[in-house]
Amino acid sequence: MAFAWSWFCWLLSSVIRPQLPILGMVLLIAGSFGPGIAAIAVVRYADGQNGLHRWLKRSLQWRVGWGWLALSFFLPLAVMGLAAAMHIALGGTIAPSPASGHVLLAVVNFGLVLLLGGPLGEEFGWRGYALPVLQERYGWRVASLVLGTVWGAWHLPLFYMADTVQRYIPVGLYMVSTMALSVLFAWLLNQTRGSVLPALVLHTAVNAWGWVIPVMVLPDGSNLRPYGLAVGLLVVIALGLLCDGKPHRPLRSLSPSITECDASL
């Protein structure tokens, strides 16, 4: 359902955008809500209205600790900043930040990214529904890698559309980045007892900090090395989390089909 909604909106957007740019942009944004719409529809169908309320209550837990929210917000900044520094140390150059001299615009951009740039439309589906269901069956490690592959594949139409971030990124490298990020998202979800809020913050930070620290691949194909370095750092973090020997208590209460939440939540 997520793929059908998103890919249909994006295909229609690519067709009509040259003639109707505003409507085309609306469809492009609407496509990003496919995972969230699919999750709501499936939970409502499987568990009814009460089940949907329970799922939303769990997903919107806000008492997760400010430390996790701060980590979600600043970790992408640290990764991108380190990647830029490594690129410069290797003799490369970084273009001036688009946010330089536009602090207020940069702050507003974070809000726009949250609402319209993917996080709000995706995370209730990927991390709110799909991940908890998958990890109950396969464990969080396998679930995160499987979901990372699906998450990356879901973006495939954007590689063939004009004016998208994915347009200029090698598909293979992007898939590696989504798998590495998926591990980080899964670890974070389990640390915060299934709340989607830290995932929303992390997804927003990943997308928005890329505008502040220019490590994304440019339209002329340049800037590939700092992006590759950032992905490499994410892979190192993901491997560290995957190799962590500490056991993670199964979060059975994350499943939308369970009627009662664990008391520890």
* pLDDT tens digit sequence for 39-54: 999 999 999 999 999 9
Mean pLDDT of 92-104: 81
pLDDT of residue 255: 52
Report the C-alpha gap between 207 and 104 in whole angstroms.
Answer: 17
In this model, does residue 256 exceed pLDDT 70?
no
CA-closest candidate to residue 233, choices 37, 84, 90, 25 = 84
In this model, does residue 257 exceed pLDDT 60?
no
Mean pLDDT of 198-219: 91
Report the C-alpha gap between 70 and 202 in whole angstroms.
Answer: 9
Mean pLDDT of 121-143: 96
pLDDT of residue 245: 57
C-alpha distance from residue 218 to each of 21, 76, 118, 211 (Å): 22, 19, 20, 11
Mean pLDDT of 51-65: 92
Percent of the chain predicted with pLDDT > 90: 74
In this model, does residue 254 exceed pLDDT 60?
no
CA-closest candidate to residue 256, choices 2, 34, 38, 54 = 54
In this model, does residue 244 exceed pLDDT 90?
no
Read off the pLDDT band of 201 (50, 70, 90): very high
**In the predicted model, what is the mean pLDDT of the chain?**
89
The pTM of this model reads 0.90
User: Looking at 80-84, 180-184, 215-219, which range is the least confident one?
Assistant: 215-219
CA dihedral 192, 194, 196, 198 (to 10 degrees): 10
pLDDT of residue 251: 53
Read off the pLDDT band of 216 (50, 70, 90): confident
pLDDT of residue 259: 36
In this model, does residue 262 exceed pLDDT 50?
no
Report the C-alpha gap between 159 and 170 in whole angstroms.
Answer: 9
In this model, does residue 250 exceed pLDDT 60?
no
